[in-house]
Structure 1
Amino acid sequence: MTPDLINLQGKTALVTGASRGIGAATATLLAAHGAEVIVSSRRQDACEAVVAAIQESGGKARALAAHIGEIASIDALFAALDAESCVPDILVNNAAANPYFGSMLEMPLGAYDKTVEVNIRGYFYTTQQAARRMRGRGGAIVNVASVNGRRAAPGQGVYSFSKAAIISMTEAWARELAGDGIRVNAVLPGLTDTKFASALTQNEAILKPLLRTIPLGRMAQPEEIAPAIAFLCSSAASYLTGASIAVDGGYLA
């Protein structure tokens, strides 16, 4: 019998932005491999819907709403975990913001602030809070970045450089936390069929030329991104830290 390389039995995983898309697929997969998953996103009801589906499949999960763009909300999330003496073994930073599509020259400062508050400050602060609690016991942190962090996309300038910052942040945290037994890696999804990416995937004029840049000739499904995240969360990736893995159908090749 082939052993389960992604065995997460006894692990607790906190997944942000987990109410839909890549986050929901990741939470579902981690639970299927034995983790107890804390499903977090802005809306409690949306989190509870994912939890219900996981539990129906025999997995362990619970919902804790949090807005990763708000420091007080992140503090409240970890305070709730502390009250239960719950320390995540795994953190998946997946919550993201991309409120603007268009020229950076015309971008309102409010849209810039929202993008940076979630995609950079939110990832940093959530990682900081989780890592402080993981010290002395180890852990795995996976940041969901984007191929845009390697190749900036037209109309998504600030989103692209915020994702580049996440890649750099991943490497910085990996170096700093290695001595504490905490591994930090990133996954770079390519074009994925999610509501988040609907401005691209639902517009044929944009989608057709995009698909021509992807050697596999199609967009991904969220369930095709989640396995790379689950791998990085597991002991199968015990010697990987500071890595950025593109799951992009060959787009960056």
Structure 2
Amino acid sequence: MTDILGYKGKRVIVSGCFSGMGEATAKLLVDLGAEVHGFDFKESAVPMASFTQIDLRDPASLEAAVAGVGGKIDALFNCAGLPGGGGFPAMDVMKVNFLGTRHLTEQVVPLMGQGGAVVSIASTGGLGWSRRIPVHMQLLATKGFDAGLAWCEANVEQVSEGYAFSKEAVIVWTQFMGAQLIKKGIRINCSLPSPTQTPMMATFHATSGKEVVDAAAEPLGRYTTPAEQAGPLVLICSDLAGVVNGIVMPVDGGFMGGLATGQVDITKMMSAASRQPA
């Protein structure tokens, strides 16, 4: 079984391929023989089949990028994102982390067939999703980028600084769409990374505090690498994961398990619960 993951010859799109988890994901997919088409605000050095500059805050750029790739798409990797904690305007964070991600996915899904797969990067910062499902369902009920943005602007008290709410939205949306897309033979999942050594980390340290970030890196005791995050993303969209759908997959070195069993001290994180990193 030389192609056990089934990527050889598959056509895939990776958003956020310039750096971090997205770059590592694109590199791995190229190595596995996929035809990789990269999207990002900054040009990527990964030797992909094509690269298109996009701005996830601009739905027209997303529509043009997908039209430019055209043809059948087998998998979409939503890896682009902005950190929170006030490092960027809250609405920009919402546009990039959720509204643009949703809009891009909605452009790609019609190009998918049976066996198609989507994965998005959420965060341990979105752990409050279960307490706000009714609120998130209001956002999910909006149709299109502009309507979603209008809802966010009318509910700034929920959006807050943008990061936690946007990642919660990715989680709830993933679970909701899992039950919708599977009827078309398309799977959608998301990952929940623990702190990862990407270019965003400096912003997380500045806005949330290094002690908060470090607390979210337990019990592993270190930050993960982009490559360690990329592997599970590639696995979950592979042929081996053919019925894995609508899940929120922790990729956190045991953080979630340690939290559930009282082995991770959450008190250090409580003061900045809405600004947790990934």
TM-score bracket for this pair, using the shorter chain length? 0.7 to 0.9
Residue 50 (structure 1) aligns with: 46
The 2-side partners of 1:157 and 1:3 are apart by 46
SS at 1:186 equivalent: strand
Shift of 1:158: 2.3
In the alignment, which residue of structure 1 is the partner of 2:95?
117
The question of 1:207 aligning with 2:210 is answered yes
The corresponding residue for 1:63 is: 51
CA RMSD, 1 decimal: 2.3
Opposite residue 180 of structure 1, the aligned amino acid is: K
Deviation at 1:161, TM superposition (A): 1.4
Would you say 1:241 and 2:245 are equivalent positions? yes
- Post-superposition shift, 1:151? 5.3
Give the Cα–Cα distance (whole angstroms) in 1 for the partners of residues 68 and 212 of structure 2: 46
Q: In 2, Cα distance between the equivalents of 1:137 and 1:6?
A: 16
- Shift in CA distance, 207/131, structure 1 to aligned 2, threshold 3 Å: same
1:157-172 aligned at under 5 Å gives the runs 157-172=161-176
Aligned-pair CA distance for 1:143 = 0.8
What is the aligned partner in structure 1 of residue 182 from structure 2? 178
Residue 6 of structure 1 aligns with an amino acid whose one-letter code is L
Structure 2: where are the runs of 5+ without partners? 130-159, 258-278
Deviations 1:54-88 (A, max 9, x none): xxxxxx53211111121010011012123xxx222
Q: CA deviation at 1:219?
A: 0.4
Tell me, in whole angstroms, the C-alpha distance in 1 between the residues paired with 2:204 and 2:168.
20
1:208 positional shift: 4.4
Name the CA distance, whole Å, in 2 between partners of 1:249 and 1:193.
Answer: 14
1:240 is paired with a residue whose SS is: coil
Deviations 1:76-130 (A, max 9, x none): 1012123xxx22211011111236438xxxxxxx812111111111111111111
1:130 aligns with 2:118: no
Are the structure 2 counterparts of residues 151 and 193 from structure 1 closer, same or farther at C-alpha, using a change threshold of 3 Å? Answer: farther
Asked if 1:148 is matched to 2:86, the reply is no
CA–CA distance in 2 between the matches of 1:112 and 1:178? 32
- Amino acid across the alignment from 1:124: R
| Aligned residues of 1:90 and 1:140 also touching (Cα < 8 A) | yes
CA contact (8 A) 1:64 1:77 kept: yes
| Structure 1 residues 4 and 80, CA gap change in structure 2 (3 angstroms) | closer
**Aligned CA distance change for structure 1 residues 209 and 67 (closer, same or farther; 3 Å):** closer
Deviations 1:202-233 (A, max 9, x none): 89x93345334410100001010000000011
In 2, the alpha carbon distance for the partners of 1:159 and 1:9 equals 35
How far apart in 2 are the matches of 1:202 and 1:29? 31
Would you say the 8 A contact 2:83–2:204 is kept in 1?
no
- Match of 2:32? 33
Alignment size in residue pairs: 226
Compared CA separation, residues 74 and 158, structure 1 to 2 (3 A):
same
Q: What is the CA–CA distance in structure 2 between the aligned matches of 1:242 and 1:137, rounded to whole Å?
A: 16
SS in 2 for 1:142: strand
SS at match of 1:198: helix
2:64 pairs, out of 76, 80, 91, with: 76
Deviation at 1:244, TM superposition (A): 1.0
- Report what 2:152 is aligned to: none
Instruction: Report percent identity of matched pairs.
Output: 32
- Retained in 1: the 8 A contact 2:41–2:53? yes
